[in-house]
Amino acid sequence: MTKPKELVTLRQRKTKNGGQTLYLDYTVNGVRTREFLRMYLVPERTRVDKLQNRETLIAAEAMKTRRTIEMQEGKAGIRRAAERDMLVTDYVKERAEFYRKQGQVGQAGTMDKIRRWLLDYGRRATLRTVDKRYILEFVRHMRQRGLAESTIYLYFSNLNTVFNHAYREDLIRENPISKMDVPERPRPPESNREYLTFDEVRKLTETRCGNESVKRAFLFACFTGLRLSDIEALTWDRVRDSGRGMQVEATQIKTKRAVYVPLSSNALAQLPERGEGKVFDLPNRVTIGEDIRDWVGRAGIGKRVTFHCARHTYATMLLTFGANLYTVSSLLGHANISTTQLYAKIVDENKRMTVDLIPSIGER
């Protein structure tokens, strides 16, 4: 008779001192989980060593039995307890597999890279134990390894999204990154905040795009500052008449902050015919990126433009045409005005470059 497969397996792994570290091997929601118990077997040189190892194995078997019961009962609360003991690296792997199944190959690839860097970092943490110090030291590790600041910011931002998702799933009590002060957080290099000028936006409106819905959504973002995630989720019931004109009332997916964005004539011109459900019928993000690159190239614009560039475009256009910093910060839904000030620096630099175009009075 075939022995039934164990739900939870107690395994051993050699340590540098010749002992063994004990861990449980099981699968949660289709993802293989290794739960290191922080229990160790020592080399058996004396009778005391043998007794110590026997007691350690008894404790480990008790933990294995507990996890097996939890898996068999399958109660939401008990399953949550097991999931909270999942390693951060395993949870990132789970998110990568989710994105891959959704066809978001680029996002899945980013998750894979983050996981590799976390494994290179070496410090183990579970969703239950991850804290601010873990994140700070991980960022320091990437810098010491010579990773570009823009890449560190990319990984940090995506890791923040991972922890936000874990929080929504009730797997962590709070996002550890939320405890980091602004100066402690990696910032994107200002040169990476690519944006389009008003004339370039006008060029795009006059240029054919391979996907009309992508074109409308991108231009709508240029005149509202909404992120791609918010535009993907935007439904017609959130496009309303405020009594003083049409506006979008949305809760930002990334920050959970509510924003109320008045719609200019430019923004209204990009809306498709009013219907039910989603405002924009968009393809997957890989296709969106490809459509935008082809469209921008066809317009003769020599910039590396992503969808998020539309948000930067909105901010810089507002400031260029005279909006004050606090109004722009409110429209973008920024939690801290220092984030908005980055756009003000870009506009100020453009003013300096414009002034420098005037030749010296001595030149002929």
* Domain boundaries along the sequence of the chain: 9-84, 88-188, 195-355
Name the pLDDT band for 77 (thresholds 50, 70, 90).
very low
Please, are residues 232 and 282 in contact by the beta-carbon 8 Å criterion?
yes
* CA 88-140-163 angle, 5° bins: 30
Residue 362: is its pLDDT beyond 70?
no
pLDDT of 244:
84
Of 324 and 185, more confident? 185
Other residues' Cβ atoms within 10 Å of the Cβ of residue 73: 10
pLDDT of 141:
94
Q: Is 66 left (phi over 0), alpha (psi -120 to 50) or beta?
A: alpha
The residue type at 99: Y
Residue 325: is its pLDDT beyond 80?
no
Highest mean pLDDT among 26-35, 207-216, 242-251, 333-342 belongs to: 207-216
pTM (predicted TM-score) = 0.49
pLDDT of 217:
95
Whole-angstrom Cα distance, residue 92 to residue 127?
A: 11
Mean pLDDT of the chain: 82
Half-sphere exposure of 309 (CA within 13 A, CB side): 20
Determine which of 34-48, 61-75, 101-115, 226-240 has the lowest per-residue pLDDT on average. Answer: 61-75
pLDDT of 118:
93
Of 57 and 337, more confident? 57
pLDDT tens digits, one per residue of 269-296: 999 999 888 999 998 888 898 999 999 9
Name the pLDDT band for 208 (thresholds 50, 70, 90).
very high
Residue 351: is its pLDDT beyond 60?
no
Residue partners of 106: CB distance under 8 A and separation at least 6: 285, 286, 289
Fold assignment, 195-355: hpI Integrase; Chain A (1.10.443)
Fold assignment, 88-188: DNA polymerase; domain 1 (1.10.150)
